Amino acid sequence: MRALKAALWRLAQAVPVALMVVVLNFFLLKAVPGDMADVIAGEAGAATPEFMAQLRSQFGDDQPLPAQFIAYVKKVATFDLGWSFRYNASVASLIFDRLAATLLLMGLALLLAVLLGSALGVVAATTRQGWLRRLIGLFATLGFALPAFWLGLMIVVLFTLKLGWLPSSGLDTMGSDAHGWAYLRDVTVHLVMPVGCLAFSYLAMYIRLMHEAVRDVSQLDFVRTARAKGSSRRRQVWRHVVPNALVPVVTLTGVQFGALLSGSVTLETVFAWPGLGQLALAAVSSRDINLLLGLLFVTSLFVVVVNLLTEAVHGWLDPRIEHGARR
């Protein structure tokens, strides 16, 4: 019962943020120079003022701003995000068709980065070898500095063009009719480079985060107690320090999820991954602002959902955190 109440409270907290996303999106839409009538007139080559006026009344652009806003909210509430003239399809269907591919890519990359990054962070914080700590620190600095999309292009040169080991684009081999295991294998081979590259770009953040978290938790009283009662070093680290150090790792994954998604967007365009990044690129190159705003809206809502989930995991990792009672 308490858990349910806490979950509902969290959900209620997310509502104002989601509403603000809607409001901001509306104003961004209105800030675009020209309106839908201009776009259509531009496509058609010419239009009479009467036709333009008719179009404007059809799209509701001649209404006062508050009325337009209410109409916009009504549309958004039913996930009607407008029409993409580039694809000649509804924005919502375009986005939802591609969401899964992005999630697959991001999910695998995140998993890899969290596991590897946490392990390296723990090693960096607990090792007595100065050179090893410095090496991992250097690795984290360099990881931050490598533009992920450039790294992607370079490994395409190496593994696809020079060595011919891995396919460089798409989610599966185009035109292949493989099923079952053969298809799974095909997708896995296509996943290697994008996932590896994206995971590498996330890695630096997790190394640094885990390093700091382990260092901080190590100084807390209960670790000293564990040490005083004579528990082994291994037990201190893995039983007492690491589970608590994971709390900020989970929190930051939620908070930074928007930034993590941005990394995926650029990388997808390198590997022609059929996800949201491809869509963003197409929207940018054809200046399809409707599509781009739809993307911004859906991904923002998605981040809200991920935040709710990480808060749930948070409570599970650290039961002391009172849900519903924000500091």
Partner 1 sequence: MNLPWRSIPLWLGALCLLAIGVAALAAPVLVGSDPLAMVARPYLWPGQNAAHWLGTDMLGRDLWSGLVYGARVSLRIGLEAGVCTALLGLAIGCLAGYFGGWVDNLLMRVTELFQIMPSLIFTLVLVIILGPRVDTLVLGIAATAWPNVARLARGEAQRLAGMEFVQAARVIGMSEARILWVHILPNALMPVLAMLAMLVGHAILTEAALAFLGLSDPNVVSWGSMIGAGRDVLRTAWYMTALPGLAIFFTVAALGLLGGALNDWLNPRRGGLQ
| Residue 236 interacting with partner 1 (CB under 8 A) | yes
In the complex, the smallest distance separating the C-beta of residue 154 from partner 1, rounded to whole angstroms, is: 6
The set of residues, in sequence order, having a beta carbon less than 8 Å from that of 65 and lying 6+ positions away, is 30
Question: Is residue 287 near partner 1 by the rule CB under 8 A?
Answer: yes
Size of the site for partner 1 (CB under 8 A): 60
Report, in Å, the least distance between residue 60 CB and partner 1.
Answer: 20
Specify whether the CB–CB gap between 166 and 189 falls below 8 A: yes
Nearer to partner 1, 108 or 223 (CB): 223
Of these, 94, 195, 199, 265, which contacts partner 1 (CB under 8 A)?
265
Give the whole-angstrom CA distance, residue 121 versus residue 143: 14
210 part of the interface to partner 1, by CB under 8 A: no
Task: Name which position in 60, 137, 248, 315 contacts partner 1 (CB under 8 A).
Answer: 137
Out of 285, 319, 320, 325, the only residue in the binding site for partner 1 (CB under 8 A) is 285
| Distance separating alpha carbons of residues 122 and 55, to the nearest angstrom | 62
**Residue 90, phi then psi, degrees to nearest 5:** -75, 140
How many helices (DSSP H) and strands (DSSP E) are in the chain?
A: 14, 2
Footprint (CB under 8 A) of partner 1, residues 154-183: 154, 156-157, 161
Tokens, residue 90: 């509804």
- Give which of 270, 303, 140, 256 is closest to 197, Cα–Cα: 270
Residues 186-205 that bind partner 1 (CB under 8 A): none
Q: Which of 278, 303, 310, 311 binds partner 1 (CB under 8 A)?
A: 303
Measured between alpha carbons, how far is 193 from 185 in angstroms, rounded to an integer?
Answer: 14
Residue in 96, 144, 238, 316 binding partner 1, rule: CB under 8 A: 144
Q: Is 142 in the site for partner 1 (CB under 8 A)?
A: yes
Q: Which of 6, 7, 32, 116 binds partner 1 (CB under 8 A)?
A: 32
Contact between 274 and 171 (Cβ < 8 Å): yes
Q: Does 309 bind partner 1 (CB under 8 A)?
A: no
Return d(Cα 120, Cα 204) in angstroms, integer: 10
Amino acid at 91: V
Nearest C-alpha neighbor of 193 from the set 162, 151, 163: 151
Residue 65 as a binder of partner 1 (CB under 8 A): the answer is: no
Do the Cβ atoms of 276 and 295 come closer than 8 Å? yes
Secondary structure E strands in the chain: 83-84, 89-90
Say whether residue 266 binds partner 1 (CB under 8 A): yes
**Contacting positions for partner 1 (CB under 8 A):** 16-17, 20-21, 24, 28, 31-33, 125-126, 137, 141-142, 144-147, 149-151, 153-154, 156-157, 161, 214-215, 218-219, 223, 227, 233, 236-237, 241, 255, 258-259, 261-263, 265-266, 269, 280-281, 284-285, 287, 289, 292-293, 295-296, 299-300, 303-304, 307
